[in-house]
Structure formats: structure tokens, C-alpha cells
A and B are shown apart, each in its own frame.
Chain A
Amino acid sequence: QVQLVESGGGAVQPGGSLRLSCAASDFTFSSYAMHWVRQAPGEGLEWVAVISFLGDKKEYADSVKGRFIISRDNSRNTLHLQMDSLRAEDTAIYYCARDGYTYGLSYYFDWWGQGALVTVSS
């Protein structure tokens, strides 16, 4: 059973930074692209970023471009999201999600973590 466990969430003031991590297990992490998807309280899903299985290609939603950086460590089966210049509108549950293809990019998400709550407030 695929497992994705997020950590690093918490409360931060506007303008601050936070780094989320996602520990993957029970599958070959290095074979899959990985995504971050967020959900503001009471709202729908919003895709945030994707990183290719090798880590050489990264894409971002316009709402986070220039402020967030996605990265991965295939030796440690870990995905990261560095979030800088945080705004109140970044408040959300952040999910890491596995892409549906091996060695490619499908842009659908076949496994999701339980999420990490990020609250940006003064």
C-alpha cells in the first residue's frame, strides 16, 4: 500500500517561510513524478506544483510561481515544498500526491497523503 506522509505544516506570519516534506514508502519513489495540491478551508482543490521523477523538470501554478520551490531527494524518498513570502491566501491543507504514470507525467493523481495544514496569519 502506497504511503505518503506530509510534515512541516504550522502557523506562520505573512511574509514568512515554511518547508513542507512528504515521506514516501511502499513504492519506487524515484519512478514517479510528484505533485503538491492544496485546499483552502471549506474550498476546492488547487494544484500547486509538480516535479518530474528525475527532478529535472518543475512546473508551478501562477499563484505560487516565484515564491514556492518544489524539490525531491530520491535517495531519501522525500518530496519537499519550500514556501517563501507566504500570504494569507496560502492558508490551506497541502497534500502531496503521486502522479499516475511511471517515468512520465500524466497530470492525474493516483495516491494522496493525509495533508499538512499551513496557516498564514498575523
Chain B
Amino acid sequence: SSEVTQPPSVSVVPGQTASITCSGDKLGEKFASWYQQKPGQSPLLVIYKDDKRPSGIPERFSGSSSGNTATLTISGSQALDEADYYCQTWDRSVLFGGGTKLTVL
């Protein structure tokens, strides 16, 4: 069955740009969504349909997708962005990536 793959961890210095990738077969031909989850909290949608940002999500969060890779970019990372991030798509069933722990050093 299909799957999508994320790096287990990404680190970023405050104020710099963090990029989290999500790889899967022909992922660029499907819509990708991204969720932020902080410890003890429910997931929060931060990007949908590859690059759409829900209301209330800061502009520093952006998304893109091409080929086999979708990317979540956090510009000007802040300490409060430290969280687990999950990509998600659909290919005959809903698929989640394994999650990426973002550390803001």
C-alpha cells in the first residue's frame, strides 16, 4: 500500500526558516495537508490543499508540492512553533506521515 515519509526530526535556529518534507509516490498529483501537534494537545490544521492556510494560521507557515515531495515551510521560526508536524494525503485511503519533531534551538 502507499505511504508517505517524513524525516523524524528537524532543527532550526529562532528566526530562521524550517523546511519539513513529505515524500510519496506522485505526491505532487494529490493534495497534501499539514498538522501541528504540541504535547498533550489535539492536532491543528496549518496547511491544506498543498498551500492553503486556514484562517488564524500565521503567514510564516506556507506549503508547496511538486513531483514526489510536499514541503511545509516555517519562515522566521519561533519557539512556539516547536511541535510535531504530520503530513497527510489521500490515495485510496487516508495516509499520514510518521511525523517530524521540530526543535527550535
* Residues on A facing B (Cβ under 8 Å): 35, 37, 44-47, 50, 59, 61-62, 95, 100, 106-115
Contacts and interface: CB of A to CB of B under 8 A. Distances in A.
Interchain residue pairs A-B with the least CB separation, the first 9: A47-B94, A107-B90, A108-B33, A112-B42, A45-B96, A44-B99, A108-B48, A44-B98, A110-B45
B88 interface: yes
Contacts, number: 54
Contact of A113 (B42, B45, B48): B42
B43 A110 contact: no
A44 to B, nearest CB: 5
Interface of B: 31, 33, 35, 37, 42-45, 48-49, 54, 86, 88, 90, 93-99
Contacts of A110: 45, 48, 54
A104 to B, nearest CB: 13
Contacts of A115: 42
B45 A44 contact: no
Nearest to B96: A45
A27 to B, nearest CB: 14
A62 B88 CA distance: 17
Interface of B is mostly: strand
Given A59-B93, A106-B48, 17 more contacts: A44-B97, A44-B98, A47-B94, A62-B93, A107-B31, A107-B94, A108-B33, A108-B45, A108-B48, A108-B49, A109-B33, A109-B43, A109-B45, A109-B88, A110-B48, A111-B45, A112-B44
B45 to A, nearest CB: 5
A45 B33 contact: no
Nearest to B49: A108
A22 to B, nearest CB: 12
B72 to A, nearest CB: 14
A81 to B, nearest CB: 15
